[in-house]
Amino acid sequence: MIRFEGVSRRYGEQAAVDRVTLEVPRGSICVLLGESGSGKSTLMRMVNRLVEPSAGRVLVDGRDVAGADPEELRRGIGYVIQSVGLFPHWRVADNIATVPRLLGWEPARIAARVETLLELVGLEATLFRDRFPHELSGGQAQRVGLARALAADPPLLLMDEPFSALDPGTRRGLQVALREIHAETGKTILFVTHDVEEALALADRLAVLDQGQLVAQGRPAALLEGAAQGPVRRIFGEESLAFHRLATLPARSLARVGDADALPMLPADATLKQALMLMLSENSARLALPAEAGFGGGTLHWTDLVTAR
């Protein structure tokens, strides 16, 4: 879906992005992870031509974006940023309808799309469509921003640290909502964050940047499996690397057949990190895992968890 081919962006002698080659598969959530100044936002903004590369090229669906009209290109790409950027004097429905109106959609089609999207992002249409942005909480405003980015049904979403200004509980709720929306829509999402836990909660694929260079890429579990070295180890933290790796492994991978009666129950899609936290909070050395399609359920044991590789 997206391919960066040897892209660089220089400001004088300083390389904000340095010879990055990266492919983002269609239908995936690819997270660009790095510390402040690592080049992740600069790299992402090359996709919709908010930043032009000094060298290399960026392709979307096999087409070099340098040959596309910037306005037309951006109308076909959803874009969500930290500050949301809702128009303050427009109601929620009008904000969501921005791109469909530019594309000349019929009013009835726009109204139906607004209703659908509000429900998709977890806001009841009758309660929220006529509100103004100042009448929304931070989390609600970010959900409206996500709905606006989805309004014209673009195949690609760019998300630049969209949840970083929110409180932890709201942030976790939006991460869950984004995964659900991704599962329902199949969009390709390129997501920028400096937060390790957020990256692991969202990423199908992870790309780690450091000082403008791509230093690691791949599935999160594989990326952390081989005792990550150098910048990756620093970004994830020496002491917490093993703990973070538990967040990439499904709890069901260590399930045993056994009696689960009266044991604390994990969600079917829980990770080993979630299992560890539940064991500690419930003071239990065993947990139950529910049966689901292709999995007969079972129990998870503390001794298996702490020796997981």
Burial class from Cβ neighbours inside 10 Å (0-12, 13-18, 19+) for residue 36 reads exposed
Tens of pLDDT, residue by residue over 176-200, are 999 999 999 999 999 999 999 999 9
pLDDT in tens, 67-113: 999 999 998 999 998 877 899 999 999 999 999 999 999 999 999 99
Residues 197-210 have a mean pLDDT of 94
Are 147 and 84 in contact by the 8 Å Cβ rule? The answer is no
The residue behind tokens 């492919």 is: 23
Give the integer Cα–Cα distance in Å for 199 and 247: 10
Please give the domain boundaries of the chain with CATH numbers for all domains: 2-240 (3.40.50.300), 249-306 (3.10.580.10)
Interacting residues of 136 by C-beta distance below 8 A, sequence separation 6+: 92, 128, 144
Q: Is the pLDDT of residue 120 over 80?
A: yes
User: Residues with Cβ < 8 Å from 232, sequence gap 6 or more?
Assistant: 208, 215, 216, 223
In percent, the amount of the chain with pLDDT more than 70 equals 98
**Closest to 121 (Cα-Cα) out of 78, 71, 77, 73:** 78
Checking if the pLDDT of 21 tops 90, the result is: yes
Sole residue written with tokens 């940023």: 81
Q: Tell which wins on pLDDT, 31 or 269.
A: 31
193 φ/ψ angles, rounded to the nearest 5 degrees: -155, 155
Tokens found for residue 138: 């931070």
**Residue 155 token pair:** 């195949």
Write out the two tokens for 249: 């492994």
pLDDT classification of 26: cutoffs 50, 70, 90: very high
Amino acid at 33: L
Residue 90 CA, distance from chain mean position: 27
In the predicted model, what is the mean pLDDT of residues 36-44?
Answer: 95
What's the rounded Cα separation, in Å, for the pair 236 and 189?
Answer: 22
Per the CB < 8 A criterion, the answer to whether 206 and 34 are in contact is no
Reported confidence tier of residue 225, pLDDT bands at 50, 70, 90:
confident
Please report, for residues 185, 223, 241, 260, the alpha-carbon distance to residue 197 in angstroms, rounded to integers and kept in the order given.
Answer: 24, 14, 11, 30
User: Tokens representing 239?
Assistant: 């002491």
**What is the average per-residue pLDDT within 270-284?**
90
111 three-state secondary structure: helix
> Cβ–Cβ contacts within 10 Å for residue 25, how many?
12
Distance CA 185, CA 157 (A): 11
